[in-house]
Amino acid sequence: MSNTLNGAGGLTSVPALLHRNATQFGSAPAYREKEFGIWQSWTWSQTNDEIEALALGLLDLGVAEGDFIAVIGRNRPYLYWSMMAAQMVGAVPVPLYQDASAEEMAYTMSHCGARFVIAGDQEQVDKVMEIQGELTEFEAMIYLDPRGLRKYDSAKLTQYSAVQEAGRSKRAALEPEMKARIAKLNYDSTCVMLYTSGTTGKPKGVVLSNRNVIETAKSSSEFDDLRQTDDILAYLPMAWVGDFIFSVGQALWCGFCTNCPESADTMHTDLREIGPTYYFAPPRVFENQLTNVMIRMEDASPMKKRLFDYFMGVARKVGPSILDGNPVNLIDRIKYQLGEFAIYGPLKNTLGFSRVRVGYTAGEAIGPEIFDFYRSLGINLKQLYGQTEATVFITAQPDGEVRSDTVGVTCPGVELKIAENGEVFYRSPGVFVEYYKNAESTADTKDAEGWVATGDAGFIEESSGHLRIIDRAKDVGQTGNGHMFAPKYVENKLKFFPNILETVVFGNGKPYCTAFVNIDLTAVGNWAERNNIAYASYQELAGHPEVLSTIQSHVEEVNASVAQDAMLSDCQVHRFVVLHKQLDADDGELTRTQKVRRRIIEEKFSDIINAMYDGSDTISTTTEVTYEDGRKGAISATLDIRDAAVQTVGAKIAAQ
Amino acid sequence: MLDQADGYMTADGRQIGPVVMEMKNITLRFGGVEAIKNISFDIREGEVRAIIGPNGAGKSSMLNVISGFYVPQDGQVLYKGVQRPQMRPYQVAQQGIARTFQNIALFEGMSVLDNVMTGRLTHMKTGMFSQALWKGRAEKEETANREVAERIIDFLEIQAIRKTPVARLPYGLKKRVELARALAAEPSLLLLDEPMAGMNVEEKEDMSRFILSMNDEFGTTIALIEHDMGVVMDLSDRVVVMDYGKKIGDGTPDEVRNNQAVIDAYLGVAHDE
């Protein structure tokens, strides 16, 4: 391997790292998967053998250098090995989303011109079969789980184990070619190509080089002190850049063990059994787990419930400080220790978080109370900010500096700059090579000096040096007073209240900010039931004076919190309306992924918006609605417009 | 109609083997009621054989005759070419016949895994004493049986409820667990009594998929009773139609569908447009 000696100590490619691990940590577990009720495990040297056998088999099938090999299926060691085997023969692995429809797969696979496919099971094989007519370059498919596939025409199909078998038996003949191809790999060879989810337009193929992946894995592993003995659970889609970095990049760099669940349904059981030390989940996973805990505590015996409530109170008070290593008085420490014994320990065990040393959440804003719940239990949950184009890491929170409203400081090697309009730009060794076959988009996103636009607006908090993301850059505007207007920032704060399901804040170019609010029928309905308030419809409950007062108090709380922020203090909500109908994707007000469509809402409810700015106290309106069966109807209502108290921030603004 | 040849080829290319079970002129009476009147048909190796008919046609009685639970007053039951003597249910199980029930009959307090393991009972040879000690042969035997059970759990995709007590499961999953238990016996003939009763469309699709892949993967011969005509026509290789205890049709789904007696009795009389 002497001819690859450059970069990170000669470790400039995935095969090189694999070789190092097989030599250095040969008998340490590299991959585990639960199958037939038992955790099967493979050491690094076994893993190396498996991958080499597959790589030789791929050579036997005729894989050429630079070929694209699509990999589709749930998280399984065999599919991670497929990606590494592809790299060993100089091909480029392209993991695809397993739940993608056949048409979506047709687009990505024909875009990259994949010659080979490695599919997990019959479901994926069927999808490829369905679209193979459109795939001109497609030649052969390798499948993992033979169930249901025995009757398939075998001309293009080969079983994974058969490919490995062929590779093993022809080892002598094929090995020199494999070695030669490995030797050709360097820091600038393509490591992987990942398709972005394509929320705006067609998916784009992000090409990441070995440099991107290995440099990022190296610096992020050092940042969080990841160790060879760590364990992670690989359960997020393999096509997502995060999973690639955690389960391939960092796993190879550190030599830690990647654990694959038995099936998607058993993820929580498997999580508990493995007890990962390094864990990632999007906010909704944490939210669901918290809700489950709370529901089960409601059903617990009164004694247990009292214990839980008492110790959770203690945890909320001192837990985060203890985690951050701040001074805490002795009595509280003793109480916390008791709580750890009686409540937190068993609870963490049930959740599968007993051993978590580093936990991350990212992707969207996480509710502060959810975040604090986990941190108060002593789970080191942190936030990071990243994207596929950056090979994940842009910023992350260092231990001891964790807050729910920032996304941390720049990761090692990353430079950050904030443009005039607030858009965040970064430059790092992880910056992607290009969008495959799309020079135009590449040039739009990445400038000549390597700065990449994130599309998000944010700012660096002066007191802590942490980055705070406030909104998508295109939604950020200016209020009538010339201050920054970032609707999502305020909306997120409002939505953290369980009573508020959805909200839209207006104020771009307006003298002050106003808001639409949708109540959460479950939470508010529950409250109405407990307080003997009868209601016949969503509309009636939404117009109830007590409900309006509750929402008003929430809005005022948010105003107080927004006022703390010098830059965004002008985004306080002066007036608001609780809408008479729920914003609905059927009416075009939300996208199918439940994101608000501002322009359409502004048009549709322009009468209400005008009323909020002309000083009226009520507004009568009629709105067209679409029922689920496609029929149209109209609902009319007279809505109260409420004024919310705002904090004066003149002093702070003057001081700037 | 099929003759007594050694088998036939199905439309989707599966080779169906020789006759496994043959019913010859079966008549079953309960006091003065004739539940089954002089019925003959056979079940061949590797096929999916359905028995259909309106309520009270005698389908369940027929299944109970096949399973050996009822002994017919007249006629012969030949299993693998040999006339079957009167047997206890466990002897039937030892012969390689397993079944599921219309009204689920699982051990409610036991976990799914334990329920599936009970299906392995006929394959356990060691005595109670050595099993209690769990040493040597007994331990090996349990491990081997557990592996079979786990493969079936994997096959039917019930890993997530492996340790859950059956009583806590919804109806559709209980049905699946029952199927798992029957399958665990590695039967040469599997009898399913209304496997889709009370299920929603999605659960029916799942169940159909499992029945087909069971037949495909393990080559299990399956005889099933079912109400849902759509399901029966899609799943089965051959169908017996019963009405008031009599056989009114027998053949492939297409033959049965076009049989006038069947249309009149069961599917309704066709009207001219």
10-residue averages of pLDDT along chain A (656 residues): 47 92 94 92 96 95 94 95 95 91 88 94 91 90 88 84 95 93 92 79 88 93 92 92 93 95 90 94 84 80 92 90 87 92 92 92 81 91 90 90 88 90 90 90 88 89 87 83 85 84 89 92 84 89 92 93 84 92 83 76 91 89 80 87 82 42
Tell me: do B259 and B272 sit in the same domain.
Answer: yes
Amino acid at A375: R
Among B41, B16, B11, which Cα is nearest to B240's?
Answer: B41
Please determine, for residue B231, whether its predicted confidence score (pLDDT) is greater than 90.
no
**Is-contact A475 A486, C-beta < 8 A?**
yes
Asked whether the beta carbons of residue A150 and residue B162 sit closer than 8 angstroms, the reply is no
CA A301-A304-A310 angle, 5° bins: 135
Identify the structural domains of chain A with CATH numbers, from first to last: 2-208 (3.40.50.12780), 388-475 (2.30.38.10), 494-655 (no CATH)
Domain termination residue (choose one: B185, B209, B242): B185
Rg over alpha carbons for chain B, rounded to the nearest Å, is: 19
Tell me: do B121 and B191 sit in the same domain.
Answer: no
Residue A517 in 3-state DSSP? strand
Please tell me if residue B83 touches chain A, with a CB cutoff of 8 Å.
no
**Is-contact A4 A12, C-beta < 8 A?**
yes
Asked whether the beta carbons of residue B217 and residue A148 sit closer than 8 angstroms, the reply is yes
Please determine, for residue B273, whether its predicted confidence score (pLDDT) is greater than 70.
no
CA nearest to A266 within chain B: B160
Tell me: do B176 and B119 sit in the same domain.
Answer: yes
Asked if residue B103 belongs to a domain, the reply is no
**Is-contact A66 A100, C-beta < 8 A?**
no
CA nearest to B148 within chain A: A36
Tell me: do B2 and B126 sit in the same domain.
Answer: no
* CB-closest option in B12, B154, B213 to A36: B154
Amino acid at A6: N
- pLDDT, residue A291, reads 79
Which residues partner with A72 through β-bridges? A96, A119
Among B193, B190, B173, B172, which Cα is nearest to B103's?
Answer: B193
Structure tokens at B183: 């399958």
Q: pTM, whole model, 2 decimals?
A: 0.82
- pLDDT, residue A592, reads 62
Q: What share of chain A is helix, strand, coil (3-state, %, to 5)?
A: 45, 20, 35
Asked whether the beta carbons of residue A150 and residue B216 sit closer than 8 angstroms, the reply is yes
DSSP-derived letter for residue A235 is -
* CB-closest option in B13, B159, B213 to A265: B159
Domain termination residue (choose one: B185, B216, B241): B185
Among A206, A190, A278, which Cα is nearest to A14's?
Answer: A190
Asked if residue B106 belongs to a domain, the reply is no
How many whole angstroms separate alpha carbon A537 and alpha carbon A548?
Answer: 15
- pLDDT, residue A298, reads 76
Tell me: do B5 and B88 sit in the same domain.
Answer: yes
Please determine, for residue B5, whether its predicted confidence score (pLDDT) is greater than 60.
no
Tell me: do B134 and B202 sit in the same domain.
Answer: no
Across the A/B interface, how many CB contacts are shorter than 8 Å? 35
Please determine, for residue B154, whether its predicted confidence score (pLDDT) is greater than 60.
yes
Q: Which residue has the tokens 């769990």?
A: B134
- pLDDT, residue A656, reads 37
How many whole angstroms separate alpha carbon A43 and alpha carbon A257?
Answer: 9
Tell me: do B1 and B92 sit in the same domain.
Answer: yes
Chain A residues inside the 8 Å CB shell of B162: 37
- pLDDT, residue A199, reads 54
**Is-contact A30 A47, C-beta < 8 A?**
yes
Four-residue CA torsion sign, A492, A496, A501, A507: negative
How many whole angstroms separate alpha carbon A71 and alpha carbon A120?
Answer: 8
**Is-contact A563 A498, C-beta < 8 A?**
no
* CB-closest option in A147, A263, A265 to B213: A147
Q: What share of chain B is helix, strand, coil (3-state, %, to 5)?
A: 40, 25, 35
B22 vs A4 pLDDT, higher one: B22
**Is-contact A394 A411, C-beta < 8 A?**
yes
Residue B1's pLDDT band (cuts 50, 70, 90)? very low
CA nearest to A267 within chain B: B160
Q: How far is B9 from chain A (nearest CA, A)?
A: 14
Four-residue CA torsion sign, A411, A224, A289, A273: positive
- pLDDT, residue A652, reads 44
Tell me: do B1 and B83 sit in the same domain.
Answer: yes
Contacts of A581 (CB under 8 A, 6+ apart): A538, A539, A623, A625, A635
**Is-contact A568 A511, C-beta < 8 A?**
no
- pLDDT, residue A2, reads 37
Asked whether the beta carbons of residue A148 and residue B13 sit closer than 8 angstroms, the reply is no
Among A96, A108, A99, A100, which Cα is nearest to A134's?
Answer: A108
Asked if residue B196 belongs to a domain, the reply is yes
Residue-range definition of the domain harbouring residue B193: 1-96+187-273
Question: Could you report the predicted ipTM of this complex, rounded to two decimals?
Answer: 0.76
Asked if residue B115 belongs to a domain, the reply is yes
**Best to test chain A binding among B154, B208, B211 (most A CBs inside 10 Å):** B154
Asked whether the beta carbons of residue B162 and residue A37 sit closer than 8 angstroms, the reply is yes
Asked whether the beta carbons of residue B160 and residue A265 sit closer than 8 angstroms, the reply is yes
Asked if residue B52 belongs to a domain, the reply is yes
Burial of B32 (0-12, 13-18, 19+ CB in 10 A): exposed
DSSP-derived letter for residue A441 is H
Which residues partner with A575 through β-bridges? A514, A643
CA distances from B169 to A570, B106, B192, B249 (A): 54, 11, 20, 38
Residue B216 in 3-state DSSP? helix
Tell me: do B193 and B90 sit in the same domain.
Answer: yes
- pLDDT, residue A433, reads 92
Tell me: do B181 and B193 sit in the same domain.
Answer: no
Domain termination residue (choose one: B185, B215, B234): B185
**Is-contact A173 A167, C-beta < 8 A?**
no
Which residues partner with A626 through β-bridges? A632
- pLDDT, residue B269, reads 60
A399: left (phi over 0), alpha (psi -120 to 50) or beta: beta
Asked if residue B12 belongs to a domain, the reply is yes
Chain A residues inside the 8 Å CB shell of B213: 147-148
CA nearest to B151 within chain A: A36
Q: How far is A36 from chain B (nearest CA, A)?
A: 5
Asked whether the beta carbons of residue A148 and residue B159 sit closer than 8 angstroms, the reply is no
- CATH code for the domain of B272: 3.40.50.300
Q: What mean pLDDT is predicted for residues B80-91?
A: 82
Asked whether the beta carbons of residue A266 and residue B154 sit closer than 8 angstroms, the reply is no
Amino acid at A258: T
Asked whether the beta carbons of residue B162 and residue A35 sit closer than 8 angstroms, the reply is no
Asked if residue B105 belongs to a domain, the reply is no
Q: In total, how many domains does chain B have? A: 2
Asked if residue B76 belongs to a domain, the reply is yes
Q: How far is A586 from chain B (nearest CA, A)?
A: 25
Contacts of A326 (CB under 8 A, 6+ apart): none
Contacts of A27 (CB under 8 A, 6+ apart): A43, A44, A45
Long-range contacts formed by A352-355: CB under 8 A, 24+ apart: A352/A268, A352/A271, A352/A272, A352/A273, A352/A274, A352/A275, A352/A276, A353/A275, A353/A279, A353/A377, A353/A379, A354/A275, A355/A231, A355/A275, A355/A276, A355/A277
Tell me: do B181 and B212 sit in the same domain.
Answer: no
Tell me: do B2 and B37 sit in the same domain.
Answer: yes
Burial of A123 (0-12, 13-18, 19+ CB in 10 A): middle
Among B177, B193, B194, B173, which Cα is nearest to B107's?
Answer: B177
**Best to test chain B binding among A36, A235, A267, A271 (most B CBs inside 10 Å):** A36
**Best to test chain A binding among B113, B159, B211, B214 (most A CBs inside 10 Å):** B159
Chain B residues inside the 8 Å CB shell of A148: 213, 216-217
